[in-house]
Structure 1
Amino acid sequence: MPESQHTTPSNPTKFITVFCGASPGRDPEYVEMAQELGREMLKRNYGLVYGGGSYGLMGAIARTIHEGGGKVIGVIPDALKKIERPELEGTNNDEVFGEEIVVKDMHTRKALMNKLTNAFITLPGGYGTMEELLEITTWSQLSIHSKPVILFNMKGYFEHLLKFIEHSVEEKFVVDWSANVIVAGSTAVEVLDKLESYVPPKSRFELKWSDVDTTPKEDFV
């Protein structure tokens, strides 16, 4: 029996949205670390909200939590199903882990993922993962939400991004306080510990939003 199956959460009280790649990356350790995050989420009884894919890091964490008895909600645009959950010709390889919600476009996907979740963790990925991370970070800066935004800095993958943020602050394109929206950890335990102790930086903008698609129903802390 896989380790993840020793813990069987029922009805998680909080959900974490995980942004990550539909690719496994070059090093098998990326997948192993995604699975470890899934096991740690099971231990702490967190449900998963993710992009709905079956492959790469997406599939690794979703499969781990689903097979361990955890709650998984996949949110995927209809147009992406053939890329992130393709059916092989003549066979049904269209795996679905837990509940699937099909939406019309990328904006609706992110808005719903924000509405369903209490926190965000970003794992390695490509352009799409970076876009998701930076948009949700911008939403925090603009007071659309105050939820934890955590990087799982696997194998130093995000070191260049973290240095870019430091450089942007030095060059006065990112304001000092908003540099602290993103917090990074290098292990699954550290990532979840930092998520649980996260204190959102106070936005100097203090904007008020009424868009029901992006206003969170509950913050993590």
Structure 2
Amino acid sequence: MEVGSEMRQSRFKSICVFCGSSQGKKSSYQDSAIELGKELLTGETVGELKAVADMHQRKAEMARHSDAFIALPGGYGTLEELLEVITWAQLGIHDKPVGLLNVDGYYNSLLSFIDKAVEEGFISPSARQIIVSAPTPKELVKKLEEYVPCHERVASKSSWEMGQLGYSQTYDISR
């Protein structure tokens, strides 16, 4: 990444980008996606092809191999993947930054909803800090680089990893 006229090394080796399967109605969405690609790519070969059994394994693999997450404007699938990695951060499953590329205010309503949930006591103020948002790729990547987790952990990472290894827990919710 360029800073002034010098290049600096990113703290991220791999960033998982969630995006819509269509380009949307505004050209600014596509333009921002291209700009983000230029901001992230270093000229090295990126990505790999890995067969997985289902969507859950796909998301777990992407999360396991990523150092950060970015959501571009998108639909239900993008929102589902975004909320899952936010929830995992809240639970302490990971401490990776989660960014919203808020192109033309696309995510303003979602951010307002989250702020309302904080105001009403459904999300803690520290958990609100999990989400990093910016209107441009350059600003978002800078904020992600500077991100320091400050939310409380609910579950230990080791308990999550045991669950991923095939162990399961049963909870009695009938009380």
Contact 2:129 2:151 in 1 (8 A): no
Contact 1:112 1:213 in 2 (8 A): no
CA RMSD of aligned residues (A): 2.0
User: Which of 108, 120, 125 pairs up with 2:74?
Assistant: 125
- 1:210 deviation in Å? 4.3
User: Which of 45, 52, 55 pairs up with 1:71?
Assistant: 45
Number of positions where the alignment pairs a residue of Structure 1 with one of Structure 2: 154
1:179 equivalent to 2:147? Answer no
Contact 1:169 1:175 in 2 (8 A): yes
- 1:204 deviation in Å? 4.5
**Change over 3 Å in CA distance of 1:112–1:187 after alignment to 2:** same
**Change over 3 Å in CA distance of 1:214–1:183 after alignment to 2:** farther
SS of the counterpart of 2:14? strand
* Cα distance in 1 for residues equivalent to 2:37 and 2:53: 28
- 1:200 deviation in Å? 1.0
Moved more, 139-148 or 200-209: 200-209
* Cα distance in 2 for residues equivalent to 1:125 and 1:115: 22
Contact 1:21 1:124 in 2 (8 A): yes
User: Which of 88, 102, 112 pairs up with 1:153?
Assistant: 102
Long gaps (5+) in structure 2: 1-10, 166-175
Report the AA paired with residue 168 of structure 1: A
SS of the counterpart of 2:17? strand
* Cα distance in 1 for residues equivalent to 2:106 and 2:12: 30
Residues 101-152 of structure 1, C-alpha deviations (whole Å, 9 max, x = no match): 2212111011000111100111011001000000000000000000011110
Residues 155-203 of structure 1, C-alpha deviations (whole Å, 9 max, x = no match): 1100000000000011111111101100101111101100100011231
Aligned counterpart, 1:92: none
Report the AA paired with residue 34 of structure 1: A
Long gaps (5+) in structure 1: 1-11, 46-68, 74-98, 216-221
1:14 equivalent to 2:19? Answer no
Report the AA paired with residue 105 of structure 1: D
* Cα distance in 2 for residues equivalent to 1:141 and 1:185: 20
SS of the counterpart of 2:148? coil
* TM-score relative to the length of structure 1: 0.65
- Residue identity over aligned pairs, in percent, reads 48
SS of the counterpart of 2:100? strand
Contact 1:119 1:147 in 2 (8 A): yes
